[in-house]
Amino acid sequence: MKNILSRLKRKLIGTNFAVQAAAVNPNCRELEINNWVISEFIIQRLAPVVGVHPYPINEQCLMVAAVCALKPSMIFEWGTNLGKSARIFYETIQKFKIDSEIYSIDLPDNIEHAEHPGKKRGMYVRNLKGVHLFQGDGLKTSLSLYHNRMADLQEGEQNSPNAPLFFVDGDHEYGSVKRDLEGIINAVPEANVLLHDTFFQSSESAYNIGPYQAIQDVVKSASSFKILRQELGLPGMTLLYRKPERHL
C-alpha cells in the first residue's frame, strides 16, 4: 500500500497543473474553480508558509478561489494581525498572475485589543511589493483608499478596474460586522466580500454567532449576492459575490 501511495503522490506532484487555469467556465452562471489546481498550490506553496491557523485548508481554498475567479484589481482587508491573510492573497496573485494590489489595515498602536499584534504586525508581508499596510478604522480607511485610487484611475483615463474584494476579519461582534458589511455595500455596490469567523452552531455551543447573523440580516436587502460558505466547523468563512455581467 505504501508503494502505491508513493507512486500516486509522485504522479500528482509531477502533473503540470500550472498550465491549467484555476478558474474555469467563466462564461457560466456559477463561480467554478479547478480544485486540483488550487489544492496543489495550497499544499505546496501556501500551507508551508502560513500554516493552517487561523485559516484551515478549506478556508484557504475559498480565499484562493475568490481571487482567482473574481480577479479583483484591489483587495482590502482589516485585521492585519501577523499578515497571514494578506500573504495568502499575495501568493495567490503572484502564482496566478492576477493584476491586483493589497491594502491591509490594522488597529492603531494606541488602541488596546486582545488580538493586537504589536511589533509583529504584518510580519508575513513586510516589504512585499504590492502589499500596503495602514493603521486606522478598517472600513473608513479602506473606503478612503478605494475612492482615492478610483479618482487616480479616472484622472489617468484608464480602463475601469475589476470589482474590489473586501476581506472582513476584524472584530467578530454582530454590530461591527453588520456595520462593516452595510458600509461596503452602500459605498461600493459592485464589491465582493469575504467574511471570516462565520460558522453557525446552535446555542448549546456557546460560540459567537454574531458574524453569521449579521450576514443573514444584511443579505435580506441585498439579494443579488450569491453565497459560498466553508463552514464544516470553526472558524468558518463566507463569500458574498456577484459575477460580472459579461460572464452571464
Give the integer Cα–Cα distance in Å for 1 and 85: 37
| Mean model confidence pLDDT for the chain | 87
Q: For residue 20, what pLDDT is reported?
A: 64
Q: Is residue 10 over pLDDT 60?
A: no
Q: Provide CB contacts within 8 A for 97, sequence distance 6+.
A: none
Residue 20 in grid coordinates: 491549467
**What is the share, in percent, of the chain residues with pLDDT greater than 70?**
84
Domain spans in the chain, listed from the N-terminal domain onward: 2-247
Per the CB < 8 A criterion, the answer to whether 82 and 124 are in contact is yes
How much is the pLDDT for 18? 44
For residue 133, which phi and psi values (nearest 5 degrees)? -105, 135
Q: What are phi and psi of 118, to 5 degrees?
A: 60, -135
Predicted pLDDT of residue 118: 67
> Which pTM does this prediction carry?
0.87
Q: What is the pLDDT of residues 146-198, one digit of tens each?
A: 999 999 887 766 678 999 999 998 677 899 999 999 999 999 999 999 999 99
Q: Is the pLDDT of residue 129 over 50?
A: yes
Residue 8 has pLDDT above 50, yes or no: no
pLDDT by residue (tens digit) across 89-115?
999 999 999 999 999 999 887 666 556
Terminal-residue alpha carbon distance, the chain: 46
Of the given ranges (8-17, 47-56, 232-241), which has the lowest mean pLDDT?
8-17
Residue type, 105: I
pLDDT for position 3: 54
Is residue 126's pLDDT more than 70? yes
List, as one string, the DSSP characters of 151-173: HHHHHTTPPPPPPPEEEE-S--S
Predicted confidence band at 13 (pLDDT cuts at 50, 70, 90)? very low
Q: Which CATH superfamily is domain 2-247 in?
A: Vaccinia Virus protein VP39 (3.40.50.150)
